[in-house]
Copies of this chain bind each other. A is one copy, B any other.
Amino acid sequence: MTATAGRPSPGQVTIADVARHAGVAASTVSYVLSGKRAISALTRSRVLASVQLLGYHPNAGARALASRRANVIALVLPLRAGMQVPVVMQFATAVVTTARSYDHDVLLVTSDEGPAGLHRIAASALVDGVLLMDVELHDPRVPLLRKLALPSVLIGVPADPAGLTCVDLDFHGAGAECVGHLAGLGHRRIALLGAPAAVYERGTGFAHRTRAGVREAADRHGVQVVTLPCEDGAIDVRRTLTDLLEHHPDVSGLVVQNEAAVGPVLATLPTLGRRVPSDVSVVAICPDEFAARSSPALTCVPVPAEEVGRQAVTLLMGKLRDEAGPEATLLAPRLTVRDSTAAAPVVGVGGDR
């Protein structure tokens, strides 16, 4: 009974179908939809009605071919080892949601494909731009990106960010913030339980920057600090903590960066005779919801994955319109104080000063 009844419906509704139904030229339909030329209100509403009625969606391939825009961006994720899974997930969610709000879709690419994958994607015009997560300090994809003329935004900051657009939490500042908080509570000996060792070895920016921030702040505050990598899982965490407390029994403050270690750290400390926060204060760098759900609720510098995702897409959309972006956008760390940190305990056995 609809206007399409009787048509053999050989698959898809095309712009020609809409044009015929609305009694205009195909180009007019195109202009109505793109808004690139003035169209009378009457024509516009007639075309829109036909689009609605026929359920027209422009063919993506044809549109991409004609306009030289795919309306798709690539999201290159580290889908393998040792990543902060929830952070990646939150980030991906924000990216997809934000991209859709700009009428773009998101192609999921794994870091495994490496530089060749970027080249393939760019050369085939599958995507208009790229979001690159898990950028290493000396990432082999960075030089390629510079020469490929492929609009891109990096999550994380390589050693030399010249000519790039990068977004990230200011991990250096985050590390410093954590140390400042502990120092302010009177802690004089602290430790950083950082990312897994493999992450440092890969030269991943956020891990190195956090460590640097922690060390510099410790110096500044006159606090002694030990920095250790920290693997995922209860077993490794127990070993790391046992070692740490054996060699440095007077450590009273912990900065924990690896989310997958935070739960085990909180669970293990009491079994080693350290209550949180009365004996040992713990401050984490992790997603805020996770920190809030822990027991005790964690003082933390939240990793604003969603905010980073939104910003990254917005910056990329700007570059697709040929607007230059800022070189590095570092989101300011904001400490949230909860129940896992408290004043340093009064010094007992072996305390100096």
Binding site for B on A (CB under 8 A): 12-13, 55-65, 70, 72, 75, 79-80, 85-86, 88-89, 92-93, 96-97, 100, 105-110, 112-113, 119-120, 123-126, 232-236, 238, 263-264, 266-267, 270-271, 290, 293-295, 297
Contacts and interface: CB of A to CB of B under 8 A. Distances in A.
A30 to B, nearest CB: 15
A125 B266 CA distance: 50
A106 B105 contact: no
Nearest to A70: B61
Q: What 7 pairs between A and B have smallest CB-CB spacing?
A: A233-B293, A61-B64, A267-B267, A234-B295, A57-B123, A79-B93, A61-B65
Given A57-B124, A85-B85, A233-B294, A108 B108 contact: yes
B96 A79 contact: yes
B89 A234 contact: no
A75 B79 CA distance: 15
A236 B293 contact: yes
Contact of A294 (B62, B119, B235): B235
A24 B288 CA distance: 61
A278 to B, nearest CB: 16
A79 B70 contact: no
A37 to B, nearest CB: 23
Interface of A is mostly: helix
Given A62-B65, A233-B294, A108 B96 contact: yes
A293 B260 CA distance: 11
Most buried by B among A75, A100, A109, A124: A124
Contacts of A72: 107
Contacts of A290: 233
A109 B75 CA distance: 12
A105 B62 CA distance: 18
A107 B106 contact: yes
Contact of A79 (B80, B89, B232, B233): B89
A264 B264 contact: no
Contacts of A238: 295
A189 to B, nearest CB: 26
Contacts of A126: 60, 105
A65 B59 contact: yes
A62 B92 CA distance: 28
A100 B108 CA distance: 11
A268 to B, nearest CB: 8
Nearest to A63: B61
